[in-house]
Structure 1
Amino acid sequence: MLSEQWPAELPVSRVRVARPTDRLDEVVAFYRDGVGLSVIGSFEGHAGYTGVLLGLPGIHYHLEFTHHENGSDCQAPSKDNLLVFYLHDRTAIERVAGRLGKMGYPSVPPENPYWSEHQAVTIEDPDGWRVVFMPINQPAK
């Protein structure tokens, strides 16, 4: 059974997943306009970095995308590096996939067949990192 509390010896108050990109505007549009996350913060000129934080207002799980003025290697290391969103509503998955498809990001076959077997939708972001939209009624393994 999954615990709903962080362990007492690990009193986490916030989680942020950060990665670089050389396509900051495209990546922000993908996650903001396509996925539907909100821009919850941004910064410029911090030691050569510009960045945007996306997430859900009031929720302490964020994505941070940064761009360094000198650039960086931003390609996904494999097709199985995933960001997975579990959604309660199959219709919501279809809406998100439809929005992203109209933006030029069609669904792609997953590397691991588990996701297809459970009716998930996989889409690559502008840097080739894969995002999976998984129906919550499917058990996580």
Structure 2
Amino acid sequence: MPSPVLRVARPTNQLQPVVDFYTRGLGFDVLARFDDHEGFDGVVVGRRDAPWHLEFTHQHGVIVERAPTHEHLLALYLPELDEWRAALERLRAFGATPCQAANPYWDRQGKTFEDPDGYRIVLQHAAWR
């Protein structure tokens, strides 16, 4: 029986800058892309071997607001020090700078970054228990 796959979908006004942040900045792969599918353009990103992915869409003629709060975030647990450092370096090379997390818990073992829409990504140097 196949395992479930989690897809988190989110609208954006800045489809290509958001895709660049997650691919060039975070190292995710483009898994699928669609143009003008019933009025929507979209890109699905993630890791080919992971049971989750992110979908970013833009509906033609619709403008969406930025992230509503600093607590709207994704946390990526990276337990291997080399992998965590490489992810931080990739984001910095992309031009992203860390920001202070709204919840101080995330600053103890992680670094928080904002994507072009103001949604936050925590790179947590820890294993999920």
TM-score by length of 2: 0.90
Deviations 1:40-91 (A, max 9, x none): 1011111210000011113220100001111321411100111010012223
Match of 1:18, SS state, is strand
Conserved in 2, the CA contact under 8 Å of 1:88 and 1:136? yes
Q: Identify the residue that residue 14 of structure 1 maps to in structure 2.
A: 5
Stretch moving more, 120-129 or 50-59: 50-59
Q: Identify the residue that residue 92 of structure 2 maps to in structure 1.
A: 101
Question: Which runs of 5 or more structure 1 residues have no equivalent in the other structure?
Answer: 1-10
Conserved in 2, the CA contact under 8 Å of 1:20 and 1:74? no
Compare CA radii of gyration and give the structure with the larger one. Answer: 1
Conserved in 2, the CA contact under 8 Å of 1:52 and 1:64? yes
Match of 1:101, SS state, is helix
Question: Which runs of 5 or more structure 2 residues have no equivalent in the other structure?
Answer: none
Deviations 1:93-133 (A, max 9, x none): 2222222222221000000001112x201000011100000
TM-score by length of 1: 0.83
Superposed CA RMSD: 1.7
Please say if 1:66 is aligned against 2:57: yes
Q: Identify the residue that residue 130 of structure 1 maps to in structure 2.
A: 120
Q: Identify the residue that residue 37 of structure 1 maps to in structure 2.
A: 28
